[in-house]
Amino acid sequence: MATVWQPPLPPIYRELSDPELRIRIESAKQALGRRVVVLGHHYQQDDIVDFADFTGDSFELSRRAADQKDAEFVVFCGVHFMAESADILTDESVKVLLPDLGAGCSMADMANLEQTEEAWAQLQATCPDQLIVPITYMNSSAAIKAFVGEYGGAVCTSSNCRNVLEWALAGGANAHGSSPVGSVKRVKILFFPDQHLGRNTAFAMGFPLDKMVVWDPREDLGGNTPEQIQNADFVLWKGHCSVHALFRPEHIDDVRRKHPDMKVIVHPECKWEVVQKADMAGSTAYIVEQVRKAAPGAQWAIGTEVHLVNRLKNQHPDQHIVVLSDCQCLCTTMFRIDLPHLCWVLENLVDGTVLNQIKVDAHTRKWSLVALERMLSIKGTGNPIGKKQPVGTTVD
């Protein structure tokens, strides 16, 4: 994440009660009318989701941001990389605000541009006869998105990762006049920054684990031999989500013992061992949809951020829903967006002051837009990606 610093809130916003904050947010939103659109990720607190004009997973919120033609301001209730992407996808005239600048993502911070350029140079030197297509998960900085855009790749989210990888394996955008796919010996994917999403998706597509290597940016050749790299179809960046890492296979064993009829559904940021033991895996939107479609009496253990699990529990009292682990997995950075911060940015907008604007520089914007537009053009929202499915299988 770019170096950012969240100044302390004016004390008044900490002194107001929640009902007072709610009234003030409502009236600021009314005063701003169509000039402002509030976007809320599924992991936000209920208090925030209540004020969101649109709620969704990363893919859906990017689409919503790109659709904003009339608004002057997008207030993004999510984390920094999401607000950056919204800034890239909206017209220059739209200002994107993140209510708390401290709302970053530890996974996105696990890959920086310098490490990426170094890895790219080493991979090109090690595999001169292969076409390497860089793909980055949405959970990455704008600089990494720009890098993949410039080098023929795309962004993916957890809801279209498989489709983006299929596109990449067919050569991606094959930028810079590289040899056409038919004439290169092999296509290799360099996947940032979540090794688990990359591994889970590639495995579901039919690639064995021994065709994937992990790239540790602190080591020469990522900690691999040249042969290991040449033989791999996927080079997976050594990054992970510290929230989803808390779910372990033993949690699923425990659920199976105690609740044999319970279905286990997890986010693909969970480790491969967890996804393999689960019944289903998919993006936050996919999880929401499976629960929405289920019959009364359905039982779920859900492996994702606790605010989403608790919301689903409250929305579906006729189902039995629990969070997969007792650790109450909380994304502390998402949690930084709260009523006081939302009230503070909205009231300042009413007074004509734009706070906490997220602005991506022109060069980064140009190429990251290319990478994001490629992502938006590749459909696939909601595909389950945990279990092995032959490449090309259509999943709904």
> Which residues make up the interface to ligand SF4 (CB under 6 A)?
79, 105-107, 139, 241-243, 269, 305, 331, 333-334
> Which entry of ligand SF4, ligand 13P, none binds 106, CB below 5 to 8 A by partner kind?
ligand SF4
Pick the closer one to ligand 13P by CB: 52 or 346.
Answer: 52
> Which entry of ligand SF4, ligand 13P, none binds 158, CB below 5 to 8 A by partner kind?
ligand 13P
Residue among 54, 93, 95 at smallest CA distance from 77: 54
Residues 144/194, Cβ–Cβ less than 8 Å: no
Residues 138/83, Cβ–Cβ less than 8 Å: no
| Residue 13 CA from chain centroid, whole number | 30
For residue 230, how many C-alpha atoms fall within 13 Å in the half-sphere facing its CB?
9
Residues 73/29, Cβ–Cβ less than 8 Å: no
Pick the closer one to ligand 13P by CB: 281 or 342.
Answer: 281
- Nearest approach, Cβ of 244 to ligand SF4 (angstroms)? 6
The amino acid that residue 30 corresponds to is: Q
Site map (CB under 6 A) of ligand 13P, residues 269-288, x = contact: x-------------xx----
Pick the closer one to ligand 13P by CB: 29 or 145.
Answer: 145
Residue among 21, 62, 19 at smallest CA distance from 39: 62
- Residue 158 sits in the site that holds ligand 13P (CB under 6 A): yes
Pick the closer one to ligand 13P by CB: 81 or 147.
Answer: 81
Site map (CB under 6 A) of ligand 13P, residues 228-247, x = contact: -------------x------
Q: What does the H/E/C string look like for 228-256?
A: HHHHCCEEEECCCCCCHHHCCHHHHHHHH
Is 50 exposed, middle or buried (CB count within 10 Å of its CB: 0-12, 13-18, 19+)? middle
- Nearest approach, Cβ of 202 to ligand 13P (angstroms)? 18
Q: Which residues bind ligand 13P (CB under 6 A)?
A: 42, 57-58, 139, 157-158, 241, 267, 269, 283-284
